[in-house]
Amino acid sequence: MKITIFDTKPYDRQYLEKENESYGYELKFLESRLTPDTARLAEGSDAVCAFVNDDIGSDTIDALVKSGVRLIAMRCAGFNNVDMRYAYGKIHVVRVPKYSPYAIAEHAIAMLLTLNRKTHRAYIRTRDHNFSLNGLLGFDLHGKTVGVIGTGQIGRCFIDICRGFGMHVLAFDPYPASGSDYEYVELEELLKKSDIISLHCPLTPQNFHLLNAKTLALLKPGAVIVNTSRGALIDTEALIEALKDGRVGGAALDVYEEESEVFFEDCSDQIIRDDLLMRLIGFNNVIITSHQAFFTREALSKIAEVTFNNLRQFKEHALLENEICYRCSEFGKSCHKQKGQPCFVLS
């Protein structure tokens, strides 16, 4: 089987090649992202492997199908960059639904601690032999209220860590975790009562710009926002205004809604033309990392393992356990997969 792997970095290649030792598939690695223009580079491949910032809209899907590709294997959990409705009946889509929820949750906590205790600024100061504490004042996490939006596996790991710090947890999720003892409240109540808000939910049309000018106005003055999910959960312009007027006391962002052109890349010798990103970076109470939360050895190993298992199932015409379609990715929709069948059958 031949697979074209888009948007690859050296670490992707290392883990994917190691996993492929057990399979012997023909792998073609490309640094370029998957777009309508680059899709033709997959001609002759059985499948493509794509990542979070690839452009997999209708034009890309048409180009892949024309090139003979029958499977899109996402090496990530999210699939908001795939036009799932258009893909239905044309090309199968699989994903890695879970790899290491601990990696994401731990990074969210690391960003929160860094933002609060300003260890990044202290590190830079002491490198210059400046040992002043002025401007480095933080607050105790113990006793604070953290609002967790999304209680899937990552959200639950994050809650466990927060409880270890002695924090009070409020949770919001349209689909509460069964059997949990979480204190679920409505989103408005969570925003009003939380000292810290952490996002752990997928991006859907329903929660696009979940945090916007209207919802940010509900926050306690000085509340801190952490986002390790998807950038478009937050309206960036509204966040900037809330930071300027002090409604938001700080933001720790591992994702950004227009990240695709800069994240994962070395732009140090370029002029970045994204004014909103530059304004965010300019705030001394904002920390931005480059979609780094997933980046652990354990997570990369698991991503490679599940990705190749997805490819094996496709090759063997087995049921694709991690297949998704617009029906099964939208709660309440009927999908053949619920009956133990493929989401659809290609002609």
Marked catalytic residue, from 230, 257, 323, 327: 230
What does 296-315 look like in DSSP terms, one character per residue? SHHHHHHHHHHHHHHHHHHH
Marked catalytic residue, from 200, 247, 291, 327: 291
Marked catalytic residue, from 19, 257, 259, 323: 259
Is 230 labeled as catalytic in the residue annotation? yes
* DSSP H or E run through 215: helix 213-216
Residue 211 buriedness (CB in 10 A; 0-12 / 13-18 / 19+): buried
Q: How many helices (H) and strands (E) does the chain have?
A: 11, 12
3-state secondary structure 105-121: HHHHHHHHHHHHHCHHH
Answer whether 219's CB lies under 8 Å from 192's CB. Answer: yes
Is 291 labeled as catalytic in the residue annotation? yes
Closest CA to 175 of 204, 217, 144: 204
User: Length of the chain in residues, anyone?
Assistant: 347
CA dist 121 to 77, 141, 287, 288, Å?
33, 19, 11, 14
**Catalytic positions, please?**
230, 259, 291
